[in-house]
Amino acid sequence: MDLSRFPRIALARLPTAIESLPRLTAHLGGPLLYVKRDDCTGLGMGGNKLRKLEFLLGEAQALGADTVLTVGALQSNHARQTAAACARLGLDCELILRRSSHATDAYLESGNVLLDRLFGARIHLLEPHQSRESAMEARAGELREAGRRPYCIPVGGSCGLGNLGYVGCAAEIMAQAAQENLEFETVVVATGSGGTQGGLVAGMQVSGGLAITGIAVEGDRREQEALAVRQAAETLRLLSRGEDDLSSQVTVLDDFAGPGYARPTQSMREALSLAARFEGLVLDPVYTGKAFAGCIALARSGRYGKDQSLLFVHTGGTPGLFGYPESI
Ligand SMILES: *Cc1c(COP(=O)(O)O)cnc(C)c1O
């Protein structure tokens, strides 16, 4: 897939490795588990949002923006990666972050928030009931009036342009699988705002056809499938590709989300512990812990043979460990 007509800034260390998880595979008794290390994209402690930011900040720079705004939860990984990328590019960064009713010192000050400050971002803190999007619009208006050139990024960087990062990731997975002679039954990934899954689905439609299994970290299956379908459709439109029958290619499991966003679950704790103790692999409590719980459940389901393979995309988020130490 030729993405070269879109302005792009290299931010992520690519391609990310695909590693096997032999001790955990043996512990579970098969299928073969593999992990794609999108937590190791580098800049600002890495994560999946850097792939999206390559295209989003490419556009921002092409438009002559001087200030980048985005929205998220207080412990947003996306906001932290945006702040790091802006530091690297010499752009001002303003983050509109909404806190939840969670009120530990760690949540309010450590983890991603600590890093946002370190990267020099300006934080606008919203209360749980306030709208992030309208706050971002209002702030962008103020900046424009002051003669600045703001560029706004939607939550999670999820939109057709941002999702191209995961169209590229799909092609990367297919190339690595061919090179290393691997065949995956499905690719398992955390899904939140839906752009990562939507981009992968769009990318697989273009370059390979592996099934993608999204694991919801909040919300229910129907909501999250609708989000991912919408994100995939927007991405394919940008690529001038047909978007037929997308809903048959979007699967989300919602059994691992628990009571809501960033709310801990027992299966998340087990997933964090198994990944750490058998493989030295660090997951986070909000996204990858829940998603890997889904991956472990698939591995235990009996649906796959011992010689079949599953690929888990580690989307990052590890600074979140320090924002929610009591969840672990
Ligand atoms: C944002 C994020 C996701 C989800 O990606 P979406 O594109 O918002 O669905 C998954 N894992 C981590 C660690 C994230 O920060």
Average pLDDT, the chain: 97
Contact in structure between 25 and 300 (CB atoms under 8 Å): no
Contact in structure between 173 and 208 (CB atoms under 8 Å): yes
Ligand 1: centre distance to CA 319 (Å) = 13
Contact in structure between 50 and 317 (CB atoms under 8 Å): no
The pLDDT of residue 186: 98
Q: Is 156 in the pocket of ligand 1 (CB under 6 A)?
A: yes
pLDDT tier at 55, thresholds 50, 70, 90: very high
Task: Retrieve residue 25's tokens.
Answer: 């595979």
Could you tell me which of 83, 88, 69 has the C-alpha nearest to residue 11?
Answer: 88
**H helices within the chain, ranges in order?**
22-28, 49-62, 77-89, 105-109, 111-118, 132-145, 160-179, 195-207, 221-238, 266-279, 288-300
Does residue 208 surpass a pLDDT of 80?
A: no
pLDDT tier at 207, thresholds 50, 70, 90: confident
76 is catalytic: yes
pLDDT per position as a tens digit, 57-109: 999 999 999 999 999 999 999 999 999 999 999 999 999 999 998 889 999 99
Quick one: what percent of the chain has pLDDT higher than 70? 100
> What average pLDDT does range 118-124 have in this prediction?
98
> What average pLDDT does range 134-148 have in this prediction?
98
Q: Residue 261 class from Cβ within 10 Å (0-12 exposed, 13-18 middle, 19+ buried)?
A: middle
The pLDDT of residue 243: 79
Does residue 33 surpass a pLDDT of 90?
A: yes
The one catalytic residue in 76, 158, 193, 327 is: 76
Q: How far apart are CA 16 and CA 171, in angstroms?
A: 12
DSSP 106-120: HHHHSHHHHHHHHTT
For residue 77, the ligand 1 atom closest to its alpha carbon is 15
Ligand 1: centre distance to CA 158 (Å) = 9
The pLDDT of residue 185: 98
CA 39 to mean position of chain CA atoms: 9
Q: Is 323 in the pocket of ligand 1 (CB under 6 A)?
A: no
> What average pLDDT does range 37-61 have in this prediction?
98
Q: Is 48 in the pocket of ligand 1 (CB under 6 A)?
A: yes
Q: What is the pTM of this model?
A: 0.98
What's at 197, amino acid-wise?
Q
The pLDDT of residue 2: 85
